[in-house]
């Protein structure tokens, strides 16, 4: 733990951050708060695009504002997307491939056309393992398609979205793993110059180590591993994975940093008379999530007296809210900063400029070790760990014919 804090301090100071960025009361952002992902220098917080969509084929005005606002960020812009991302209906029917990649490219291109000094965005995308993709060339072909949709000569970061788990004919004995074939595909993309960096997603300690060693034999460094990670999502193998990646020099990109909204307290500022846990309950009643997701999230929020003790996440929210108030920050910013302090890059989703700006408010300062320890102790005593809600899980994916799972342990 101490070494992570020391390296973070050196990085911030090297880029001009002031010493009071580490005090318990400083609120001013540092001049620069960036980190390295492979050969890339990126802001220490990214932006997920899985919820981005178009309005009748045209970019949503809120997303236009978001990209315009993000382009002025002195730390740069780091967007994470995937070939499989698309509107909810199309994705559910298996027809949304490439839609969000095209949207990201158009938003960035249109923004560059109106900005006097456009900020170059770093864009990461993903290859999706599929039953019909069984060769090195299938990875190269998919990469070429993503590269064209993004409108770039070389993709900044090309990731495998998950282990090779989609096996619709598994019960008939057709369950051969093509993970190593996909790793060779990544290496081929890298060596052809189609990508600048390669990464993986949802790999546990064993698989990420095997992948790193396999790629190293081809002269290719493994830059990143994207996993679900948050204050209440550390006990499903995520912490061991983060520790292993830190040892390997593989940067962890953390999705679900807010545990699907449980750690935001996002209505607290607008309704100051409410505590964070009461605000969370209010937000869930207004949620646009599916009934399955909302039911699971309400269990986490309130507890069910069975798998989740009564009170749910409330004790942790109270602690986070106190720390946030002491620092004049939001609960969401505390949640993101915690992940940064652990050596990872959080990838929260954002659909509006206001959400993006609030997320970036977690840059330029750091929680103290005492604050990190206190929150972890409270989280550990909640009696449960977050592993997703509804069909959106941190260890499984709905793949049309059912749920396929993986394990980080």
Q: Looking at the annotation, which residues are catalytic? A: 85
Among 303, 302, 372, 384, smallest CA distance to 342 is for: 372
Among 99, 126, 385, 109, smallest CA distance to 230 is for: 385
Tell whether the torsion through CA atoms of 89, 226, 4 and 239 is positive or negative.
positive
The DSSP element (H or E) to which 201 belongs, if any, is strand 198-201
**231 — phi, psi (to 5°)?**
-55, -35
Query: Which long-range contacts (C-beta less than 8 Å, at least 24 apart) are formed by 128-131?
Result: 128/82, 128/83, 128/84, 128/161, 128/162, 129/160, 129/161, 129/162, 129/163, 129/164, 129/165, 129/166, 129/178, 129/179, 129/182, 130/166, 131/166, 131/167, 131/168, 131/169
Among 255, 192, 256, 201, smallest CA distance to 223 is for: 201
E strand spans, 119-183: 121-127, 157-160
Among 86, 394, 122, 100, smallest CA distance to 232 is for: 394
**287 — phi, psi (to 5°)?**
-70, 150
Q: Name every residue whose Cβ is closer than 8 Å to that of residue 285 and which is 6 or more positions away in sequence.
A: none
Tell whether the torsion through CA atoms of 201, 206, 210 and 216 is positive or negative.
positive
Number of H helices and E strands in the chain, helices first, is 14, 16
- Structure tokens belonging to residue 231: 């204050």
């Amino acid at each position: 733990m101490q070494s992570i804090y020391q390296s973070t301090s050196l990085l911030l100071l090297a880029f001009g951050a002031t010493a009071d960025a580490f005090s318990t009361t400083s609120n001013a952002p540092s001049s620069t708060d960036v980190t390295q992902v492979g050969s890339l220098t990126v802001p220490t917080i990214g932006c997920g695009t899985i919820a981005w969509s178009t309005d009748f084929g045209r970019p949503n005005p809120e997303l236009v504002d978001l990209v315009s606002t993000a382009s002025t960020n002195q730390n740069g812009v780091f967007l994470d997307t995937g070939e499989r991302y698309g509107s909810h209906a199309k994705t559910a029917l298996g027809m949304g491939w490439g839609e969000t990649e095209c949207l990201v490219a158009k938003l960035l291109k249109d923004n560059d056309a109106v900005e006097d000094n456009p900020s170059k965005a770093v864009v990461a995308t993903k290859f999706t393992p599929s039953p019909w993709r069984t060769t090195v060339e299938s990875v190269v072909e998919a990469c070429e398609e993503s590269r064209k949709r993004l409108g770039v000569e070389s993709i900044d970061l090309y990731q495998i979205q998950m282990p090779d788990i989609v096996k619709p004919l598994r019960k008939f004995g057709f369950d051969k793993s093509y993970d190593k074939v996909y790793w060779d595909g990544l290496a081929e993309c890298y060596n052809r110059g189609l990508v600048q960096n390669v990464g993986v997603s949802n790999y546990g300690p064993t698989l990420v180590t095997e992948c790193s060693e396999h790629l190293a034999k081809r002269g290719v460094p493994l830059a990143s591993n994207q996993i679900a990670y948050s204050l209440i999502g550390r006990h499903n193998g995520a912490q061991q994975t983060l520790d292993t990646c830190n040892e390997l020099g593989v940067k962890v990109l953390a999705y679900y940093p807010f545990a699907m909204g449980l750690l935001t307290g996002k209505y607290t500022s607008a309704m100051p008379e409410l505590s964070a846990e009461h605000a969370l309950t209010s937000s869930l009643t207004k949620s646009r999530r599916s009934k399955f997701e909302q039911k699971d999230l309400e269990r986490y929020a309130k507890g069910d007296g069975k798998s989740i003790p009564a009170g749910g996440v409330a004790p942790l929210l109270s602690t986070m809210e106190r720390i946030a108030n002491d620092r004049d920050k939001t609960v969401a910013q505390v949640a993101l900063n915690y992940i940064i302090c652990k050596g990872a890059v959080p990838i929260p989703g954002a659909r509006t400029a206001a959400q993006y700006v609030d997320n970036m408010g977690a840059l330029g300062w750091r929680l103290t070790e005492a604050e990190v320890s206190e929150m972890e102790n409270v989280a550990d005593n909640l009696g449960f760990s977050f592993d997703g809600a509804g069909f959106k899980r941190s260890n499984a994916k709905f793949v049309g014919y059912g749920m396929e799972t993986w394990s980080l342990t």
